[in-house]
Structure 1
Amino acid sequence: MSVAVPSEEFHNGHKMPVIGLGTFMASSEVVGAAVDSALEAGYRHIDTAYVYRNEAAIGQALNKWLDSGRLKREELFVVTKLPGTGNRAESVEGYLKKSLEALQLSYVDLYLIHSAVGKIGKDDAPPSEQTLDMNTDHISLWKAMEAQVDAGRARSIGLSNFNARQIKRIVRAARIPPANLQVELHVYFQQRELVAFCKALDVTVCAYAPLGSPGFQERHTIRDRDREAALSPLTDPVVVEVARRHGRTPAQVLLRHVLQRGVVAIPKSTNPGRIRENFQVFDFELDDEDVEKLDALDRGSKARMFGGKMLKGNAIHPEFPFHDPY
C-alpha cells in the first residue's frame, strides 16, 4: 500500500508532493529502472529536464505503469524544464511539445524556465559551443509560458535558478504567477532569504541537491582551496550525530531538515536502496535542538556548487542570477 505523501499547495490549488525523484545526471540507460524503483517505493513526483536527455526513458517507464493500470495520470506529478536555448518567447511551445512527446504525456504538472540566462546554439552542443543570448527578455518569455497553461500543456509554471529581483519582476508582470522556484538548497546552503522572499509571494520552493549532490562532487574535480565548501553534508559530524540519535541515516536527516522548513526536496539516486531510504522520512521529526544544530551549519553562498564555477562563462550575461546576494 502506498504512503500518503504530504504536499505543498500552489496558489492555483494544484499540489506538489514534498519528496520527488531527481534525475539530473541519470542516463537513459539507468533512469527507467530508477523511476520503477521510485514508483514502487511510493514516489509520485518525478523531476526531469529537456537538457538531461532522459525524458524519453522516463516516459517509457511512466507509461508502463499507466498502461498497466497500476497508476492513474492524476496520481503523478511530472516536472520538466525549458532549456536555455529555448529562452525566447517563440521557442517555448516547440520545446514543451518535444518534452511532452518524449514523456508520452499530454501535459506536465509543472514546467519551469531552467535558467535565467538565454543561450544560442544547438541543443546537444557542449556549453563551449553555445553563445550567450544577451537579449534574454524574461517578461516576453513568461507570457509564452502562460500560454502553455492556457493551452493545457502545463498545469503550473515556474522558475529555476532565478534570483529574488528577477522573480519580483516576473511576478509584477504576470497574469499567471510562478507557482514554484527550484534552486540548489541543502544544509550548507540554506537559502533562507530567498525562501522567505518566495513564501511572502506565495511561490513554493523546491530544493535540488538537498543531500549536497555527492554524485556531482565525485564527477567534478575540486581544487584544494574549494574543498572546505564542498565537503559532503552526508559525512558532516553534526549530521551523523543527529542521525545516530534518531536511528536514521544522514540522508534522511538532511531531507527531514529541508521538509520541516516547508521546502520540497528532489534527491537524485539510481540506487534502489537509497531511493527507498530517501522516501522514508515521514515517520519522524527533528526536535528544536536538532534543528538549531543543523541550522548552524549554513555556510551561505560559498557552499554553492551549481552556477558559480560550473557556469562561470555565463557571468557576463545581464541576467546571470548569482551576482545578487539572493
Structure 2
Amino acid sequence: MKGLILSGGHGTRLRPITYSQQKQLIPVANKPILFYCIEDLINAGIHDIAIIVGPNKEQVMETVRAVEWDARISFIFQDAPRGLAHAVKISRDFVGDDNFIMYLGDNLLKGGSADFIRDFSDSKVDASLLLTEVEDPRQYGVALVDEQKKIIVKLVEKPKNPQSNLSIVGIYGLTPRIFEAIDHIKPSWRGELEITDALHWLIENGCNVRYGMVQGWWKDTGKTEDILDANRLILDTIENENNGSVQSATITGKVKIGKNSVIREGSAINGPAIIGNDCIVSASTIGPYTSIGDSSEIHSTSISNSIVMEGARIDRIHQITDSLIGKNVILKKDDASHERKTFVLGDSSQVML
C-alpha cells in the first residue's frame, strides 16, 4: 500500500504566517504538522509515500529532505489548488495498481491511523473513510451510514439541514477504482474536483465504501485557534527531558528542554511546555501549553498557551497568551504596561511596543 500526503494550498485562514510558510510546516510542539502525517503512515507500515506540493514546493521539499525517513518519499507538483480529487488524479502514475491512503497534511490524529489502515486493507472494499462526530455538521462533508453493514450510504458536502453529525476526517483509504470515479465527475461551483463527489459516484455505482470512527481526538489545523489547540493536546503527551542547563530556575510539570538551551535564574517553566535547542530564557515565565522554537531568546517576559517559532527575540512583554509568533520575530516593549496581549505575527516581523 502507498501513501499520498497533500501539502499544497495557500492557507489563507492562517495569514500572515502563511505568507512565508507553507501551512503544513507550521510547528506544533516544535515539529512541523506534516511530519506527524509522515510518521503516522510509516508507523502504519507504509514506506512508499508521495507528497503533493504547491506554490511553496521548494520549502516543503527542503524541509522533508532534511530528515532521514524510513520510507521512499517523492513529490508531485500541483500548480494550483484544484481540489482533493484533482490531487488524486495527478497521482495516477505514482499509485499505479496499488491501494493507497490519502492523508491531508494539516490533519493531526491522536493514536494514529494504523488500525484504520489495517481495517481498510483487510476489508477489501473500494474505499474507506474515517469519520468523527462534530457539533456543527454544516461546516463539513457529512456521511449517512448503515451501522449494521458498516458502510456509507450517502455523502453530502456542507449540508444546510444535516441528517447526520458524522464528518469526514482527512484520511481516506482508496483503491484505483477512485480514478474511474474522478473521470466521471465535473468541477464544483468552486471550480475544483471534489473528492466527496468522486466518493459519492462510487456509492451510486454500487461500490462498497466502508467507514471507521476516530478513536481519541482529531484536529484539522486550518485556523490559529486549531493550531494552538493541537499544540495543547500534543504537549499533554510529553515526558520530562532536560538536555540543557537550568540555573536556579523553577521547573514544574512536564517540560522538555533542548540541547544547549539555558534557563537562567529568575525564570519559571510551567509544563507542559517545550523549549527547543540553543534557546536562552532569562527572568521569564514560560507556559503552560507553550512551545518555544530553536535558537529563540526570551527575556523578562511571560508567555502561555502559545507557539513561538525558531529564532524569535522577545523582550519585556509582560504577558503574552493565545499567540502564534513566526520565525525570527523581534518583539520588544519600552513602556510599563501590564496588559495581556495576543499576537499572530508572520516571519521576520518587528514589533516595538
Instruction: Assess same fold via TM > 0.5.
Output: no
TM-score (norm 2): 0.25
TM-score (norm 1): 0.26
More strand by share: 2
More helix by share: 1
Rg larger in structure: 2
